[in-house]
Every structure is written in C-alpha cells, then in structure tokens.
Structure 1
Amino acid sequence: MQKSLLLTACLVLSCASATASPAPEGIPADMPQDFHASDSSFDYIRRNVMIPMRDGKKLHTVIMIPKGAHGAPILLTRTPYNADEMVTHNISGHMRSALQGYDNMPDVIADGGYIRVIQDVRGKYGSEGSYVMNRPLRGPLNKSTVDHATDTWDTIEWLVHNVHESNGKVGIIGVSYDGFTSMMALFNPHPALRAVVPMNPMIDGWRGDDWFHNGAFRQQMLPYIYDQDATRSNTAKWWSSYHDDYNLYLDAVSAGALGKSHGMDQIGFFRQILAHPAYDSFWQDMAVDRQIAGYGLKVPTLLVHSLWDQEDIVGAIGTYYALHDRPDSRDNLFLVMGPWNHGGEIRQASTMGAVRLGSDTGAYFRTRILEPFLAHYLKDDSSVPLPAHVTAFRSGRNEWESSDSLPSQACSPCTTLYLGAGHTLGLSKADSAAGTEEYVSDPARPVPYLPRAIEPIAHTPVSAWPNWLASDQREASGRTDVATFTSPVLTAPLDIQGLPVAHLTASTTGTDGDFVVKLIDVYPDEVPEQPEIGGYQLMVSADILRGRYRRSIEHPEPIPANTPQLYSFALPVANHTFLPGHRVMIQVQSSWFPLYDRNPQTYVDNIFLAPPAAYRPAKISIDLANSWIDVHSTSPVANPFAAPRP
C-alpha cells in the first residue's frame, strides 16, 4: 500500500513536471515554447512557408488565402521591405484590413478575391542567401546560377503546385523596388505568369532612377543605401547630428566623404557607386529597359508611371519606349500615366501637392484600369474589357485621355519655347534677341531644392519629400543664381505631351558644371476658388545634366572654360495643359541641393573624391540666341501667347 501510494505520488509529480516544469528562475514561464494564434474566426488563412530555389536557398513567403477560395488567381509581390510587416500593418481578422501595408491595395486585392503572396527577396529578412542591390540578370555582372528571374520562376512553380485554392494563374505586382522585381519576372517567364504590373519601377539607376540623374548623384539616397544594404533586417540605421540636411551635406564636402564617415565603404553597392560615376558597362548591364529591349515582351504588362515621381521618374517611360517599337511586344504593352508622386496611385489621390485634381485619381486608376486589366488576364472571364494601351491624365484640364501610343521620343513637329532677353520666353526665334543671361553659381551657396530646413527623405504625411516635385518654385525664381524666363499671359490653351527636350547653349568660367532646366506653369496672381495658389509656380517637367557628360554619358570630359557649349537633354515626360490666364516659365540653375551632390565646377576625375579646394564659384553665361526648349504640342492655336482679336 505504501509502495502504491509512493508510485502514485511519483507519477503525479512526473506529470506535473512534464506540463509545468519550473523555469531556471524558479517559477513556471508564462510564455509557451510554441504559441498558436486562435484565428479560426478570420476570413482568411495565413501561411508562412520557405520556398526552395534551384540553388538550395529558401525564400520566406507569406500566403494570404481568402477562406472558401476556390479557383482564385494569385497576386505575387517580391520585396526587400519585409513581407511580414506588409501584411501585419493593421492586425485584423479581416483580409481587407490586414492588407493595408506598402504595395497592398485592398480595394483591388481583397475585394477582388485574389490570393495574396508576398515574398522576401533573397538575403533580406526571413529569406536565405545573399542580398545584392538590384541584383543583375545572370551575365557579365552576375556569374551565379540565380537572379530575380529564376527566383520568380521557382516561386511560381512552387505556388501553382502547392496552393490548391488557386486557378493556376499568377500575376506579379509591385511599386518601386518591387516594381523592379516585377519587371525581372518578364525574362524567361513562367507559363503560369499571365499579368505583370510594374508600378514606378527602378529601371535605370544612372539615367534617372534613384541613384543618378544624367550623371548628378542623388546623395540624399545615401541613408536608404545604408539602411537597406548594411544588414539583412535593416537593423543598422542612418544617423545624423543635423536637423537640416542642407548643412549636413554641405559640411561633408562630398557624397563620397559623407558615406565613408558613416562606414559605408563596408557596403558593396556604395563601393560600386564610387567606382562607377559614369554610365559605363556596370550601369548599362543593370539597366532593365536596355535588357528587355533585346528580349521582348511575352506577358501582358501594365506599366504605371507617376508624372511627379520624386524617385523613379525614368523607369516606366524608358521601358515603354524600349518596347514600343518591337512588333512582337506591342499587343502586350500597356501604360498608364497619372498625376501622382512615387506610388501615389495606390492611395487616395485627389491632390498633387497644393494642386487640386478634381477627383480621386488613385481610385480611378485602381477601379477603371488596374482591376479590369488583372481580371481580364487572371480570372476566367476574358470578356472583361481591357484599358487602352495608353491611359494618361492631362493635368491642367484634369481629364483622363486614352490613345494607342505616346508621341515618339523625338517630337516632330515641335513647339519651341525660346529664351529671350529681359527674362522673356517666346514662340519665335525673333523673340530671342542676341545676348546673354548671366548668373554666378557658388558651391558654398547651392540652390536648395526645397525651402530650408530640409529634413531627411521620409514618406510621412508631414514630410515635404513626397510632393517636392510639385512644390512652389517662387523661392528659386527670386534668387540671383537662377535664370528665369517667363512668357506673356496665355490667351489660349497650350497642350503638351511627351518628352520636352532642353537645348541650352552656355559657357562657364569653370571646367565643369551642372545645368538644371525646369518647365513651369505659373498660375494667375489670383485664383478665387483656391486663393492659396495664386501665383503658384508648378513644375511640369524638370531635370539635371552634369556638364562633363554633355558629349558622352560614358566618357566624361572637362568643359573648356569661357567657351559656349551645347547641353541637350530630355526632361521627364509631361501630359499637361497650360490654361488661358497662366504663363509658361523656364528656370535654369546649376545646383539642386542637397538632393544632388554639388559639382565642384573644377574638373576632377571623380567628384565623389573631390577635395574642398576644388569647389569654386563660376560665372555661367547663357547664349540666348541658341537656347530653347522643344515640346510636342497638340494645341489648335499656333500662338497661344498672341493677344486675342477684338
């Protein structure tokens, strides 16, 4: 009996020990070793899986399946921005609420019944492997067996065999970097890939997306490179002891010196930037539009472009022009251009900065263009009508237009805006009297691209960064180091479309220099329906050219001092109407700081390594008789500046 009681006691103690063993601290732990959420009431099923790639690495993937789904299409996004965070931004039992993070459009994805798949690209967050910024296709820059194209193929192959609730049709979609990974899916696409939507994609990092614009380095992207490339999960954060970035970058002297002071010489991509300031084979082999031009378009693709994209304003348009002339690609090529900043189409978009647009243009895009495009190719009802091959918002008139194509890159015939004496702008060569317009560009006092204090780049409701391209340019027009030319008041509409091209003839007392050209819509001094924009100066299209690349973007050369030189370069695409009562303005300047690094104005082999003594003032002289801007105009009136007939 005593042995039996003892045995019973031992068994009880053993069971107690197995279920609630004391923690090392001497008290049972509250936290279970493996917690299982009670999500049976959710209207979706979430799966976290590790999908194997052909080289044995596994990529972390989040799959969100509407409950009861059967024969549903899959929408995939591949991202370096944390797949877990993108679907837990708003924790909820409803899929529509859970899909509130970056790249998610619940009114399209959740309401459309799509299976949502988000994957960490290799080397980021939960995925195995090594991370390479904008990993190139296999080839000269990538000697491995994998790239984003193979990773996408392997992912889709796994999904169509393991997500049994799907109909076997997959689309890929994403904004910015995720637009870049969407583009990469077009190389050797998986048979199940039926639709691709690259939104504001990073395409050519030297010509105008993210890193450079025509040779001028976008130094305020250094914090992004630091945060994104230093650690797998972005745990290392850029630091600054300045409230005003203008002072931070000015005191650092050069972008190279600032990066090195933050330890960025440990980061491979930063070292590549320093080693490749010109458009050499490194950048050319990474330019997706150059690669896809030789490959062709085998999957229906909707390119999405923002007319005021402050980050990737070249990518979608460059890709469109790279593919448009290929007969085997035209049927699959679609483009939408809207009045948005970077990624603005996925949000409410009834304003662009201070300018009212008259409607929610983001909702129009999602419901009238994106949703039918996806439904046509990913759902079993192919009777859903497709959008036009080109759908474009015309700012000024605030109207949507549709057409079969954009105007060619070389506008013909062109409307020419001539720079004239007395800060005038006219439509005939006679308006441009011989002479020069001069200003002094001083690297010690560069022209700010925003009113100071200029805070670090941030995507928040109070940040000036998202809408800076639509910011009022009056402060710049009042500076003595900005040459300003203004037309008479328009008496008829002036419609422009396509790529404006600047032809600037100028001399400098230096041996290098930058040239910024801005095409601006000047509002009437009084706007009764919106008084705060009376006299507003809205940039319609603007860009920068580093003077050393005026002849060749591959082979820089000094500028001969005091010798007029031609600086010709295309500005970003526009689709705008200058209304009667408005005026057209051109601004020319030689710095846009601190967004772009300062040009020393003394030629050095590598501006990233320029010493302080190289930064010197230079006098710029614009040859008015040989400086103009070409725009493609569809206006019915030959001269909208002419006085109206009595």
Structure 2
Amino acid sequence: MKKTTLGAALVSLACLLSAAAFAMPPTGQESAKVTPDMIQTGSDIPTDWKQPQGNFDYIKRDVMIPMRDGVKLHTVVLIPKGAHDLPMLLERTPYKASGMMPDNSPHMADAVWSGDKDWADGSYILVWQDVRGKYGSEGNYIMTRPPMGPLNPTTTDDTTDAWDTIDWLVKNTKESNGKVGMIGSSYDGWTVAMALLHPHPALKVAAPESPMIDGWMGDDWYHYGALRQVNLDYFSGQTSKKGEGENIPRESYDDYTNFLDAGSAGAYAEANGFKQLPWWNRFAAHPAYDAFWQLQALDKLLVAHPSSVPTMWLQGLWDQEDIYGAVHAWEALKKAGHGANNHLVMGPWWHSQINRDGWNMGPLKWPGNTTAQFRQQVMIPWFNHYLRGTPLPKPLPEAMIYNAVGQHWDSFANWKPASEQSLTPLYLQADMGLGLQQPADGSDSYVSDPAKPVPYLPRPIPQKNDRWRTWLVHDQRFVADRPDVLTYATPVLTKAVTVQGAPIADLFASTTGTDGDFVVKLIDVYPGTDPSDPTMGGYQLPVSLDIFRGRYRKSFSDPSPIPANQVQEYKFRLPTVNYEFKPGHRIMVQIQSSLFPLYDRNPQSYVPNILFAKPADYRKATVTIEHGAAGRSAVLLPVIAGATNNG
C-alpha cells in the first residue's frame, strides 16, 4: 500500500516538474548579441599603467641614470610634493631599489620601509639606486666590485658610479638644493665607503652603517681566515640571478647536520652548482690574505685617498655580520691624521638594527628605543647641519659608544685606536681561574673532534633562524660544560671593572695536529639569582668573542703548518667594547676550537686549501693551553678603572 502510494507520488512530482520546465521563460540566449566593446584581442595589461596620485604627498620618479661608459643605472627618486631647495639622501644597493618602498601608500612616511621613515618627513628627497648589474640596472654585476686598478681593469667602479649618479641628480632634480648625503648599511655601507674614495663635490655628509670594509679579516666572508660558511646562501642569492636568487636547498632542518654531512665547505658549495658562479671560483681560489683581498681592503684605501666629507662610522656592539669594518676604517683614518671629519658611533645593536627598532638586544632591554632616539636626536640633526645649514644642538664627539650596563651613551673626545691602548693582562690560572697575578705553572687540555664541533647556538640551527640576529648575546651555559670547551672565571668581583677598547686574546698553545682554530670568548657571568628578571640568573653573556685560524699565526698571506706538540703563540684582537663588569658578577673566558656551522671546520691536519679538505683530513687533536712557564695565556683588557681591586 505504502509502496504504491509513494510510486504514484513520484510519478506525479515528475509530471509537475516537467510541466514547470516547459513553462519556464526563455533564457535570452536566442536574442543575445555580441557588440565590439565585448571583444578584447590584445592584453588586459596596459603598456604604460599610471597610478593616479592626486592624493599622494610625494612624487615618485623611476629614472635610468647614464654612467660615463654609457651603462644606465635604475634609480628611484621620491620627492615631497611642492618641494624646493631640499637635500637628497642617496642609498646605492644590490637589494632592489624599488623594494625600498614596500607599501603603495599615498603618504611618503608610510610608503618607505622602516629604516627610512624618520627621513620621510617632507624635508628630504629620498633616492635609491640599483648597483650596476642588479635588478633594474644595466651592466655586469661583480660582488663588491674592486676599485679600478689591478683587480678591475675597466674605467668604472662604485666610486665613479656614485660620482656620476650624484652629478646627474644635482643637475636634473630641480626640487633639490644641490646637496647630497649618502647612507646605507652592510653592502650599502660599502657603497658609501666606495663613494668616499673620490667624492663628488655635492656629497656633503655620509654615514656608512656596519659597512663591509675587509671581508677576509673580520667582516662577512672570513674572520682571521676562518670561513663564515653560512654566507654560501648569500653567494647563490646574489650571483645566481640578476634579481634575487635562491638559497641552497636543505636536506635537513638542522644546518649543523647539513654542513657536517657535506664534509668541507667547498664540497657543499660545488655539490650545489657553485662552479657556475664566477664569484665563487675567484673566492675559492684565494683562501689566504693575498693580493685578492689586500687590494680590496677599504680601510687602507680610505687612508690612501682621504676625503674631507664629514663621516659618521656606525657599528653595532653585537653586530653578527660586519663587526669589523666601521671600527677599523675609523681607526685607520684617525691614526693617519684624518680624525677631524670622521666620527665613530657604536650602539647596542645587531647588524643594521640602526634602521629598525632598538628596544632591546636579545635579553638585554633598554630604557627606550635606542635606534629611533639616535636617528631623531643625533643622526638627522647632524645630516641637517651639513645639508640644510641648521645649527647642531651640540657638536658630535669623536666617538659615541653605548654603555650597555649603565644604559646610556658615553661620549669620548679622544677614543684611542687599539694600537694605542693600555692593556691589563687577565691571566688564565690553575683550577680554571682568572686573575691579574702571573700564574706559576700549569696547562689545561681538551680533545677537539671535527666530527663533533662545538655549535654556536643550541641545536637545531635552521637556515631561517630567528636567533641569528642575537646569537652574539646568547647564554653560553649551553657549551660551558662540554669537555672540548675550557672555561675560566674570576672570583666574584668586589668592585666594578670597566673596559673600553679592544680586548686582545693572547694564547700559548700546542696541538697534536698540524692546524687548528682558536675561539676566545670574554663573558660576563651574572649572579645566580636576579629577582627583577629571574631568567638572567647565572646568565653567561658574551661581551666580545672571535675566532682565529692557527695556520695564520705568523702571516695572514703565507700560512704554514703548526708544528705538532710545540707551543705557539696565537695573538688576535677581539671586537671593541665599552662595558662594565659589576660587583657581584664574575669575568669568564671560554676557549674552544670550533664555532659550527657558522664557521667551517678546521680539519686539524694541514692542507693547502681548507675549503676542499677531504674526509680523511679531518682528525681529532689534543689542544693544550699553557698558563705557566711555557707561556702565560691571557686576555689583555683595556681596563679603565677598578681591575686592581679584584683577584
């Protein structure tokens, strides 16, 4: 009964739907007509799109500026609307000039990236330029193109390109007052330094920020001969494409594993196609400090071609990438008698942090935004003085260096270069102690195993690493108890010890190998508890550290094997500090033979080129640090006051 009724109902419903379908109005397809405006035979992308900018408070110009050899460089010029008699701020970059405006905002201060917001207040014309051969610029790209001379037989370099650019800008920017300042960090800081070798008369002021000055001695590529192998990604990113290239693909999340499994840095690079890169082939052929590096060292070139341009050399106290350049350029110029127009500024910052917020450095917190305060209160008024003729609130001292413990800026009328410092030896002692008295005798040993190198950060260490910027202030307790790390410490300090300058590591050591690296860290050990910030209880804060490759103990240009089991002296400078070890703290020194994977592993058996060491070359070695009659190892401190009252 139910089945019959349901079936009848379905049939009835089908009939109704069929009738409804026949009763539906026509779709209109039969009468549709195609008109000419419906048809597009070309591209939907116009050949020359122009953004309406009636509400913009600035004008953007994309121009191609001709250089003396006919090559044209892509340049972006931002001009406040209604501008007249404004100075220009120029930055030359390999990192995409058009990318300096990440936001298509109608307001200039909102359109530019964070580092330029303080400059985009309507009182400056902002200019960015792609260096030769990158992004929108014509010509061939050469990594940090050497100055014209033996390494560059052409008629152009970044000095002439800066000159030609400034010359064109002052002649073709009617809204300007004909005065130009240059600024830039890292590679962009290098372009500022290059412009200073023969500056255009319109270049009135300059600020190289964390510039690469000597890539072998202590900036991006090497530190005293030890390769910073994590920069291999930079090589592929910069030189595999005219635009932005890609990083090396990773097998593992942890770069410690990736580099360890690859063997040598050269094997890792060339397994990933680096033989195609001319820069890598030149780089890999010159592991020692030969003419290839010496002729590019800008501190020497700046002294040979000094400028009268007022220059502010900016550096981060914990700059994880270019901690060498600005300090050494400034010191070289001062020693050569050019201190009057050169000033040194060192802030509590990581690399290029001057162009971002500066509320803290890792766990170290400041009472204000140190970078914004410095830009607004010191840097921009100083630029205004030379570019706009406004009076300075107060003269810029020879050196301004942040006191991280006192949390304030210190000004110095006479900051001494490292070669003129008065140094106090802090000797390694028996029972892992540190003190001012000369030790009678003794030594300590550890086994350095290339198969188990000491990491520079707790593992895992991914390629995209948020801790990279602040690794130089990372708590060193994670390695303090490793058997291949020697840790020495003073008694608890009863009075403050203030150090101002560059500490010097002076080690007397022997090894069973024929090569080896030495890492020395100067550390501030916090008291065991800190009620105001419990996470800082017992913190081991690196104040200054660096690495030295043992084969260069006699000569940076002519390496030699280390005589096995013979005591040798390894003496090298650590990064500059302005630091106070407070009462209740201790001073610590850690010594080890690797800092991986930031630096490549030393095989510890001498080979001509460590970049291409073979697996069999990597061998364990017993390293012995002397602190007695065979050699009194120490860290030489530029102590200002208080040291004689502690230990």
- 1:94 pairs with 2:107: yes
Report if aligned partners of 1:153, 1:189 keep a CA contact under 8 Å in 2: yes
Give the aligned length.
610
Show the 5 A alignment for 1:456-471: 456=463, 463-471=466-474
Alignment CA distance shift 1:422-1:46 (3 Å):
same
Residue-by-residue CA offset, 1:150-184 (whole Å, 9 max, x unaligned):
00000001100111100000001001000000111
Residue-by-residue CA offset, 1:364-385 (whole Å, 9 max, x unaligned):
2212221121011111324554
State the Cα RMSD in Å.
1.4
Q: 1:46 aligns with which of 60, 63, 66?
A: 60
Residue-by-residue CA offset, 1:126-153 (whole Å, 9 max, x unaligned):
0000000000110010000000000000
Aligned-residue identity in percent = 49
- 1:610 pairs with 2:618: no
Report if aligned partners of 1:372, 1:386 keep a CA contact under 8 Å in 2: no
Match of 2:199? Answer: 189
Report if aligned partners of 1:53, 1:151 keep a CA contact under 8 Å in 2: yes
Residue-by-residue CA offset, 1:282-316 (whole Å, 9 max, x unaligned):
00111111111111132110000100000000000
CA distance in 2, matches of 1:347, 1:330: 28
CA shift for structure 1 position 22:
3.9
Match of 2:20? Answer: none
Report if aligned partners of 2:288, 2:557 keep a CA contact under 8 Å in 1: yes
Residue-by-residue CA offset, 1:251-308 (whole Å, 9 max, x unaligned):
1100000110110111111111210000000001111111111111321100001000
1:639 aligned counterpart, secondary structure: helix
Residue-by-residue CA offset, 1:224-270 (whole Å, 9 max, x unaligned):
11111111001444211210000010011000001101101111111
Match of 1:5? Answer: none
What letter corresponds to residue 224 of structure 1 in structure 2?
A: Y
2:418 aligned counterpart, secondary structure: coil
- 1:378 pairs with 2:387: yes
Show the 5 A alignment for 1:164-313: 164-313=174-323
CA distance in 2, matches of 1:306, 1:638: 26
Match of 1:111? Answer: 121
Match of 2:454? Answer: 447
CA distance in 2, matches of 1:405, 1:272: 41
Match of 1:7? Answer: none
CA shift for structure 1 position 29:
5.0
Report if aligned partners of 2:313, 2:345 keep a CA contact under 8 Å in 1: yes
CA distance in 2, matches of 1:372, 1:32: 44
Match of 2:509? Answer: 506
Report if aligned partners of 2:523, 2:543 keep a CA contact under 8 Å in 1: yes
- 1:139 pairs with 2:139: no
Please report the TM-score for the alignment, with normalisation by the length of structure 1: 0.92
Report if aligned partners of 1:22, 1:29 keep a CA contact under 8 Å in 2: no
Q: 2:409 aligns with which of 388, 400, 407?
A: 400
CA distance in 2, matches of 1:300, 1:219: 35
CA distance in 2, matches of 1:29, 1:513: 63
CA distance in 1, matches of 2:421, 2:200: 40
CA distance in 2, matches of 1:140, 1:195: 29
CA distance in 1, matches of 2:511, 2:151: 38
Residue-by-residue CA offset, 1:557-613 (whole Å, 9 max, x unaligned):
000001110000000111111111111000000000000000000000111111100
Residue-by-residue CA offset, 1:315-359 (whole Å, 9 max, x unaligned):
0001011100233x2221011111100011222212111112232
2:346 aligned counterpart, secondary structure: strand
CA distance in 2, matches of 1:299, 1:135: 22
Q: 1:161 aligns with which of 166, 171, 177?
A: 171
Structure 1's unaligned 5+ residue stretches are 1-15
Match of 1:11? Answer: none
CA distance in 2, matches of 1:98, 1:521: 42
Match of 2:534? Answer: 531
Report if aligned partners of 1:215, 1:545 keep a CA contact under 8 Å in 2: yes
Match of 2:430? Answer: 421
Show the 5 A alignment for 1:577-596: 577-596=580-599
CA shift for structure 1 position 399:
1.9
Residue-by-residue CA offset, 1:477-514 (whole Å, 9 max, x unaligned):
11110000001111111100111001100000000000
| Residue range with higher mean Cα deviation, 280-289 or 378-387 | 378-387
Report if aligned partners of 1:439, 1:621 keep a CA contact under 8 Å in 2: yes
| Residue range with higher mean Cα deviation, 377-386 or 89-98 | 377-386
- 1:434 pairs with 2:447: no
CA distance in 2, matches of 1:401, 1:582: 22
What letter corresponds to residue 407 of structure 2 in structure 1?
A: N
CA distance in 2, matches of 1:34, 1:111: 30
Alignment CA distance shift 1:427-1:457 (3 Å):
farther
Show the 5 A alignment for 1:475-490: 475-490=478-493
Report if aligned partners of 2:335, 2:417 keep a CA contact under 8 Å in 1: no
Match of 2:22? Answer: none
Report if aligned partners of 1:204, 1:314 keep a CA contact under 8 Å in 2: yes
CA distance in 2, matches of 1:467, 1:383: 34
Alignment CA distance shift 1:538-1:390 (3 Å):
same
2:160 aligned counterpart, secondary structure: helix
